[in-house]
A and B are shown apart, each in its own frame.
Chain A
Amino acid sequence: MTAAPVAAGLRIRSGVDLVAVSDVDNAITQFGQRYLDRVFTAHEIESCAGLAQRVAEGLAARFAAKEAAIKVLRPRDTPLDWRSIEVRRDADGICTLQLSGTALLLAEQAGIVDISVALSHEGDIATAMVVALCATPPEDLTSTTEREK
């Protein structure tokens, strides 16, 4: 079965990921600022500031968003800085993705014209889903399955 195009010349890519909040909490405890600075942007860290559990929940959801975006961007073995995929949160709490560097280049190569992110967390699980609209056809209609992890 092949997916039907959503509109002439447009296709959808999607990615989803789960992260254990406790894993992020442990990483912050073990590696502190070094961990935060390697993975998250200043805006993301600032967006999640507050109680320790809230910080871990927010950052876990953001890490899930980065991984979900990677599934959409399909870098294969292209080097990718996690900070080049940034979750921007506005004053109303609405989150969007901002790509830069290699992530932006991969999006351009894939013909991505719009990209959306949704974050959620409950208990020890944080999740994110990313959906992108691509203006160019995929290279191979039979190979649209996401990699597993």
Chain B
Amino acid sequence: MEREIRQILAAHGRLGVDVYSLDADADLYRNGMTSHASVNVMIGLEEAFDVEFPIEMLRRSTFESVASIETALNSLTATLAG
């Protein structure tokens, strides 16, 4: 999952650094991701993982790092599986 997240960040995150060399906990906003780019990342994740981020997840911290995105996706996919 982490590699797919990084691929989507590379495609849509508009990061100023190489996303594949970023620490999983690195702050994506501090590394160049704009608010608008985070929308593209969100929709890119939704299409790739066939999920939809609910309003309660539309917060800055959800998309703040590779690790936080992975946590959110795990939560969404677990909900779908349950």
* Chain B residues within 8 Å of A79, by CB: 55-59
Asked if B7 lies at the interface with its beta carbon under 8 angstroms from chain A, I say no
Query: How far is the CB of B81 from the nearest CB of chain A, in Å?
Result: 23
The proximity string for B residues 1-32 relative to A, scoring 1 for CB distances below 8 Å and 0 otherwise, is 00000000000001000000000000001000
Main secondary structure on B side of the interface with A:
helix
Point out the residue from B34, B42, B44, B60 that lies within 8 Å of A77, measured CB to CB: B60
Report A-chain residues with C-beta under 8 Å of the C-beta of B42: 38
Taking the nearest CB of chain B, how far is it from the CB of A37, in angstroms?
Answer: 10
Interface size in chain A (residues, C-beta < 8 A): 24
Q: Is the interface of A mostly helix, strand, loop or mixed?
A: helix
Q: Are A81 and B59 in contact (CB under 8 A)?
A: no
Partner of B36, one of A27, A75, A80: A27
Closest chain-A Cβ to B14's Cβ sits at a distance in Å of 8
Out of B14, B29, B36, B56, name the residue touching A24 (CB < 8 Å). B36
**Contact (Cβ within 8 A) A35 B59:** no
Q: Which residues of A contact B (CB under 8 A)?
A: 17, 19-20, 23-24, 27, 30-31, 34-35, 38-39, 63, 67, 70, 75-82, 149
Residues in B lying within 8 Å of A, measured CB to CB: 14, 29, 34-37, 39-40, 42-44, 46-47, 55-61
Query: Which are the 3 A-B pairs with shortest beta-carbon distances?
Result: A79-B59, A79-B56, A31-B43
